[in-house]
Amino acid sequence: MTKVALIRHGSTPWNKEKRAQGSSDIPLDEEGMADARKLAERLHKETWDVLYSSPLKRAKQTAEFISEKVGLPIQFDSRIEEASGGQIEGTTEIERIEKWGKDWRALDLGMETPESVVLRGMSFMEDVLKRHEGKKVIVVSHGALISHLLRELDSENVRDEHMKNTSLSEVHLRDEQWYCERFNCTIHLD
C-alpha cells in the first residue's frame, strides 16, 4: 500500500504578519525551525522510503530537518510549490482591500487558479505512484497546494480547513483509490 505524508512547511515571518506568500521565497522563522525539528522527531519514529520537497526556501528548510532525522536525501520538485499569488504576494488582506477594494478576489491579479494547482499536484502524485508504488513517501509542500490536492484525492474525508504549519496529512492508496486517514495533524507540537 502506498502511503504519502503531505506536510506543510514551518512558520515564516509572513505567516505571522498574514501576508500572502505564494511563490515568494520566504525562509522559516525561529518558531518554524523549532516546529520543524519537532516534526522531524515525530517522523523519525517511523520508517520512510522517499523524501520530496518544494524548492521554495521555507519548504526546503523544513525538509532539511526531516532529512537529517530520517536519513533520506531530498528530491526537489517544482510541481509542489505553493500556488502563485501574482500581485497579491507580500500583501495583507487590509492592504489588498485598500489597493483593489473589498472585491479584489474578482479581479485578475495574476493569481494561479485552483484548477492549475490541482493539475500540477495530481501530475506529481501520478509520478510518485509510478516511481514509488507500495512505498512510504514524505512530501513537504505548502498550505494551498496541499488543501487543493487533498480535496481532489479524497473529497469525502477532507474538511475545508486552514492547513496548520508543520501539519501532517496522510493519504493511502487502496484499490486504486486515495483515502485521507490523517488530516492537518500537529500532535508533535503539543
Within a 10 A sphere around the Cβ of 150, how many other Cβ atoms? Answer: 23
Residues that are catalytic: 9, 82
Contacts of 190 (CB under 8 A, 6+ apart): none
**C-alpha cell read off for 12:** 515564516
Nearest of 5, 158, 155 to residue 80 by alpha carbon: 5
Whether 112 and 83 have beta carbons less than 8 Å apart is answered as yes
Please enumerate, by residue number, every residue annotated as part of a binding site for substrate: 8-15, 58
**Taking the chain, what is the end-to-end CA distance rounded to the nearest angstrom?**
29
